[in-house]
Structure 1
Amino acid sequence: MNRTTRFALAAAMALAAAGSPAPADAVETVELRFATFNASLFGDRPQALAERLKTRTDEQLKLVAATIQAVRPDVLLINEFDYDPSGKAVEDFLFNYLMRSQHGHNAIRYRYQYTGPVNTGLDSGRDLDRDGQTGGPGDAWGFGRFPGQYGMVVLSRYPIDPARVRSFRKFRWADMPGALLPTLADGESWYDERTLRTFPLSSKAHWDIRIWTRAGNIHFLVSHPTPPVFDGDEDRNGRRNHDEIRLWADYVSTDPGRNGYIYDDDGGTGGLGDGELFVIAGDLNADPNDGDSHPGAIQQLLSHPRIQATPTPASSGGEESAHRLGGANLVQNGDPAHDTAVFGGNSGNMRVDYVLPSQGLNVLRSGVFWPMSSEPDAALLDASDHRLVWVDVSAEVLPLRDPLPRRGLGR
């Protein structure tokens, strides 16, 4: 059996697992759970995470895996998972942790995965943060101590065709019309012209990943914009965060004049076609009510006519945490039930992680995995300072014509 045949059989099995044929007079639907989780799986040097993943005893990895097993997403984005070009790190996470019961939760298997290079830790050769030195993490195209730190991974129970993934990692910030490029107090550009000829918009990466389901393609649009902090009055990180979020807002616009400027790493241009289904996911590092985001950053998505921003995922544990920790949480404007991360100090808890389905998908349920302190799974919260966010959607099953990618699966 050749590679293509093996893939076709595996993909057909995954599609069939969504349900059996319905009566001719019934409308059959498929349900899927999409999720995002900033799992804080990053090391302080290259291969540090890969080395931890070779064992089966790392407690943080067990907690991360148990969290995923408890929620059981069909399609999951993991932020802050160091990139390993060999793919071995992802395989070890699957085999050594997810496919083994953790903290009383059943093992889970993801047949399909996608990961790729990111901009974090890639040395620019320039003094981007203007501290008088070059070569530090602040002078990388995305903040990082080594290439691939804070990377991204997508896991799926449904087929992914890696040959059709659109990556926008190399899209230049200056090529966005009306980009919020930072300036000094006198109006001079923070970055010189030579730097802007190379400077990428994406601090990690932006990927459009097609998930093959019985309802057709669902585009999983994933990213991890830079935090809007750790800068000065020029607000270079806040402005970049705003425009990283804007890229998806423009990409899913039905107006070709709004997204015609976008190009991917292979030279393809334009945005997502009208009528295409999608889910935007990631740690977007922007709270709609609190924090230091550039004005209107996340509202570009929450108020987008093509996006279903409600119902807002919520938890009881988030409310409990805000009351228990107090401090900044007591003066915030946002509903603590919607928080997704614990930052402490002067920041408090915030909503920064999102799963946003498109119009055309029926939103069934949603939530933030944040158990109350009295619940058994509360111990899993030590995995990360972020919480896993999930949304259940359904869509009408399409006639089975040619749903399978024509080229083989990647890792």
Structure 2
Amino acid sequence: MTAPLLSETSLRVATMATDLSGEEPGDLYRDLLTRTDTEALRVADAISVANPDIVVLTGMDADPDAVNTFISDYLNSPDDEHTDVGYAYSYLAIGSSGVQSGADLDGDRVVGGPGDAWGQGAFAEQSSTVVLSKYPINQPDVVSVSALKWDEVAGNKLSSSELSGAVAASIPVMHNGLWDIPIEYRGERVHILAAQTEPAQSSYGFGAPRQKDQLKVISDYIAGEDYVVADDGAKAGGIDENRIVVTGALAQRTEFTAAALALGDELGRDDALNDSGNFVIPNRGWNVLGQGRIGAEAPEDFQLLPGATPESIETSDLIWTDVQF
């Protein structure tokens, strides 16, 4: 059953952690061409049920051919029982993951390969973030923060990472990146801040202190702290007076759930929905009308606040929140 829209003026924002990734460039596209990819069908099922206006998919290769195939052959396939969901706009985030560090980051005494790349990526587009939207994305105004160095973060925790020398001076703070994606919604600009922080399976010994600083960068970007410099060299100007939704895989390592929830508190949203490290956090500029999650067994209806708690739905995969001006 499709989760109903609450009104004609509500915006449904969703996120879902996926495993839509290949070992080499083009692998995902080739897998999706079969129209039988199990993970793609699972993700499409959840999106079809929730029917979000904007969905942030983490862990997906930012491959245009793969994304277009996913939309056409899984979300809008005439050969399945899904309710078709159309997305005219997309943003494929490519950050620092997959760029070789030149050092033995994973401690295997061999330099090279995914373990020694920033973000442990085999190639630049691997396991990144894909944003699908029913509303126009202002592509020229998208801000990417992926090259910011860890040692440039004010009050950083780099000293507790045991990194030193050239690696400490060059390592980016973000696991892959932070993206401020402006959506044009009913004459207003909405900022979707999508991020994918340190993954649960990270083998880096410095993952814990860097995770904390990744969340700090998100907060400081919103606040307009000068040290947060975008990839194009512009300093963060601050967006705390605008409508913002922070979303993505913010705390897949469970010990950082509290830190991610603290980010929600900063935004005036102590009721932000989260599950398994995935978050949808609107700032105080929104009215939250409802929220829920879609898993193997979809809920019969949306959950009105304050009833939507992590225990209220049996299986959780995709999470969504309805917001309104």
Say yes or no: TM over 0.5.
yes
2:284 aligned with 1:359: yes
1:320-362 CA distances to partner (integer Å, 9 max, x unpaired)? xxxxxxxxxxxxxxxxxx6x3xxxxxxxxxx310000011110
1:71-118 CA distances to partner (integer Å, 9 max, x unpaired)? 00101101111122xx22211111111112576321111000011323
Q: Note closer, same or farther for the CA distance 1:182–1:40 as it changes in structure 2 (3 Å cut).
A: farther
* One-letter code aligned to 2:264: L
Note if contact 1:228-1:238 (Cα within 8 Å) is conserved in structure 2.
no
2:74 aligned with 1:97: yes
Q: 2:123 pairs with 142, 146, 167, which one?
A: 146
Deviation of the 1:228 alpha carbon: 5.6
Structure with the larger strand share: 2
Q: 1:201 pairs with 173, 194, 199, which one?
A: 173
2:229 aligned with 1:263: yes
1:184-204 CA distances to partner (integer Å, 9 max, x unpaired)? xxxxx6222322332111111
User: What 5-or-longer segments of structure 2 have no aligned partner?
Assistant: 301-314
2:170 aligned with 1:245: no
Residue number in structure 1 paired with 2:242: 276
* One-letter code aligned to 1:100: S
Note if contact 1:210-1:220 (Cα within 8 Å) is conserved in structure 2.
yes
Partners of 2:322 and 2:299 in 1: CA distance: 26
Note if contact 1:241-1:297 (Cα within 8 Å) is conserved in structure 2.
no
1:170-190 CA distances to partner (integer Å, 9 max, x unpaired)? 11111001111154xxxxx62
Partners of 1:303 and 1:389 in 2: CA distance: 19
Partners of 2:140 and 2:202 in 1: CA distance: 36
Q: Note closer, same or farther for the CA distance 1:73–1:101 as it changes in structure 2 (3 Å cut).
A: farther
Deviation of the 1:286 alpha carbon: 4.5
Identity among equivalent positions (%) equals 31
Note if contact 1:206-1:223 (Cα within 8 Å) is conserved in structure 2.
yes
1:50-80 CA distances to partner (integer Å, 9 max, x unpaired)? 1112232323322211211110010110111
Q: 1:302 pairs with 230, 249, 264, which one?
A: 264
Partners of 1:90 and 1:60 in 2: CA distance: 14
Partners of 2:298 and 2:316 in 1: CA distance: 16
* RMSD after superposition: 2.6
Deviation of the 1:150 alpha carbon: 0.8
Match of 1:389, SS? strand
Q: How many residues align?
A: 306
Residue number in structure 1 paired with 2:317: 387
Note if contact 2:293-2:299 (Cα within 8 Å) is conserved in structure 1.
no
Residue number in structure 2 paired with 1:5: none
Partners of 1:101 and 1:386 in 2: CA distance: 27
Match of 2:167, SS? helix
* One-letter code aligned to 1:243: D
Larger radius of gyration: 1
Normalized against structure 2, the TM-score is what? Answer: 0.86
Which range moved further: 34-43 or 128-137? 128-137
Partners of 2:42 and 2:67 in 1: CA distance: 16
Q: Note closer, same or farther for the CA distance 1:244–1:141 as it changes in structure 2 (3 Å cut).
A: same
Partners of 1:102 and 1:64 in 2: CA distance: 16
Partners of 2:52 and 2:34 in 1: CA distance: 24
Residue number in structure 2 paired with 1:317: none
Note if contact 1:229-1:238 (Cα within 8 Å) is conserved in structure 2.
no
* One-letter code aligned to 1:273: I
Q: Note closer, same or farther for the CA distance 1:30–1:46 as it changes in structure 2 (3 Å cut).
A: same
Q: Note closer, same or farther for the CA distance 1:218–1:83 as it changes in structure 2 (3 Å cut).
A: same
2:83 aligned with 1:106: yes
1:277-336 CA distances to partner (integer Å, 9 max, x unpaired)? 10000011257xxx333x9532431321x34231x43xxxxxxxxxxxxxxxxxxxxxxx
Note if contact 1:120-1:144 (Cα within 8 Å) is conserved in structure 2.
yes
Q: 2:194 pairs with 192, 209, 222, which one?
A: 222
Where in structure 1 do 4 or more consecutive aligned residues deviate above 6 Å? Answer: none
Q: How does 1:332-371 map to 2 (within 5 A)?
A: 340=275, 351-371=276-296
Partners of 1:77 and 1:252 in 2: CA distance: 19
Normalized against structure 1, the TM-score is what? Answer: 0.69
Partners of 1:371 and 1:58 in 2: CA distance: 16
Q: Note closer, same or farther for the CA distance 1:94–1:190 as it changes in structure 2 (3 Å cut).
A: same
Deviation of the 1:215 alpha carbon: 5.1
Deviation of the 1:260 alpha carbon: 1.6
Match of 2:12, SS? strand
Partners of 2:296 and 2:40 in 1: CA distance: 19
Residue number in structure 2 paired with 1:175: 152
Note if contact 1:228-1:292 (Cα within 8 Å) is conserved in structure 2.
no
User: What 5-or-longer segments of structure 1 have no aligned partner?
Assistant: 1-17, 19-27, 184-188, 314-337, 341-350, 376-384, 396-411
Note if contact 1:100-1:108 (Cα within 8 Å) is conserved in structure 2.
no
Q: Note closer, same or farther for the CA distance 1:130–1:54 as it changes in structure 2 (3 Å cut).
A: same
Partners of 1:365 and 1:70 in 2: CA distance: 15
